[in-house]
Every structure is written in C-alpha cells, then in structure tokens.
Amino acid sequence: MSTTITSQNRSSESAVQARENLYRLFKERPMKDDELLVNLAMFMRSGSLAKILFLNEMYQKIIDLPGIICEFGVWMGQSTITFENLRAVYEPYNYQRRIVGFDTFSGYTGIGDKDIPSEIISDGVYSVSQGYEHYLEELLDYHEKENVMAHIKKHSLIKGDASITCKDFIEHNPEVIVAMAYFDMALYEPTKNCLEAILPRLIKGSVLVFDELCHPNYPGETQAVFEVLQTRNHTIRRSKFLPDRSYIVIE
C-alpha cells in the first residue's frame, strides 16, 4: 500500500473548502473518459500547471545539448511522463535523449543525521503500491508509442537505492552524457551520492535541478550541493514559475 503524503499546507480555509468542491466537481463530471483525457486542464490547479511550466522551462535549457535526463525521485511518475512528452514536442527525432528515473518505489528508509525527520521525511513516505513501477512503465510505453521513433525505447525506470543504482548505471554506460539531472529526493546522502556519480558526465551547459534547495525543512539537499559542487563556482537561479525550485547551469 502507498503512504499518504500530507504536504505542508499554506492554503487558506476558503481555499481548502474550494478544493473540496473541485474534488466533487471532478467526481460528478458529465463527460466520458475520452473527453476527460483531452480536457484535463479544466481540473488542474494553478500549482499543478506551474509545475508543468517549470519542467518545460528546464527542458528548454537543454535542447541544444547532447545527453540524457536523469530523474532522482520518481514517485508517481508525473515528471517522468512530462519529460517524455516534452521530448516528443521539442525534439521528436532525438532518440538519444533518454529519460532515466531512479526510485526505490518503497519510500524513504533510514533518515540520516543531516536531515530533519518530519511527517514527510520519515520511513515509508513516498512509497507507492506494490508493483506500481510496472504500471508506470506501461504508461511510459503508451506515451512513447503515441509519437515518432516509437520502435526505439528511450526511457528506463531503475528500482532500488539510487546511491547504488546510479553509480552502477554510470559505470555500465560509459557513453552517457547527463544533459539534465532532476533531484527530488530531499535527503542528504542519496543526493550527495548521485551528484558525485554523475559529476564526471556533466558538460558545459548541463542543468542540475533541485526541488528543496534552501528549504529549512530539508537542509540535507543544500548541504549535499555545497559539498559536491563548490557552489561559489556556479550561479544558482530560481524558476520563474515555481520560486522555491532552483537550478544550476554548469559553466
């Protein structure tokens, strides 16, 4: 069973009530499934739309670069699928733009001393249902088949501790250049280990994206970035769509 995620709530009481009404309207929608799938934006909150715009903002920065996209912390896979569809929009014939997602699919384990335990940062949080990665793989296959070059598989889901699986992936794929790495693990140790693993495969212009940089509840990610990247040599910028998301373009 998956663990329910209770995010830090910054919404007003009226906004929470309005969201409950949105859930009701979604459940009672007078439309068929095929109509829903082409009208999903009707039910998308502005924050969810901003996340898609943010991913699009990041993707546009690597279009002229060779290399793959690594996502550390897949969870349900929305970002993975968004990246796959952005590739289909911007560079449909670039079969070398592989998207590789790393996740345990069983949630957090062993919160370290440099992380702050909380309702969100605790063992088992961000787990998904048993075998969910197979469902996500099927969804990714569908999206790939909707577009050109469908006969070449351009995505991979790697299950396990990313501290180990990322290093193994890099060692067994000597041809790989990392054009973008998206870090959404929040924890110190896996973030540091994965940064160290991909560091030799970054090139000038590679983009490193961070979900929790400078966040007081997730200090481990920031510590890992400072220790590995020596950030005084890099400019850290924030997204214009999600101001709590940050990125570094390797110089």
Q: For 110-131, what is the mean pLDDT?
A: 95
211-230 pLDDT tens trace: 999 999 999 999 999 999 98
Backbone angles phi, psi at 207, to 5 degrees: -115, 130
pLDDT at 1 over 80: no
**For tokens 């699009």, what's the residue?**
56
The answer to whether the CB of 40 falls within 8 A of the CB of 59 is: no
Burial class (CB in 10 A: 0-12, 13-18, 19+), 8: exposed
The tens digit of pLDDT for each residue in 161-178 reads: 999 999 999 999 999 999
Count of Cβ atoms closer than 10 Å to residue 22 Cβ: 14
Distance between CA atoms of residues 220 and 185, nearest Å: 10
Give the residue, 231 or 66, on which the prediction is more confident. Answer: 66
* Nearest-angstrom CA–CA distance, 66 and 96: 8
What pLDDT score does 4 carry?
Answer: 45
Least confident of 5-9, 87-91, 97-101, 108-112: 5-9
CATH of the structural domain 45-249, one choice from 3.30.1540.20, 3.30.465.10, 2.60.120.10, 3.40.50.150: 3.40.50.150
pTM of the model: 0.93
pLDDT at 9: 54
Is 8's pLDDT higher than 80? Answer: no
CA-nearest of 238, 250, 123 to 179 is 250
Q: Which of 5-14, 47-56, 94-103 bottoms out in mean pLDDT, i.e. has the lowest?
A: 5-14
Instruction: Give pLDDT, residue 232.
Output: 74
- Condensed to tens digits (0 to 9), the pLDDT of residues 29-39 reads 999 999 999 99
Which pLDDT score, from 0 to 100, does residue 33 have? 96
Q: What is the mean pLDDT of the chain?
A: 94
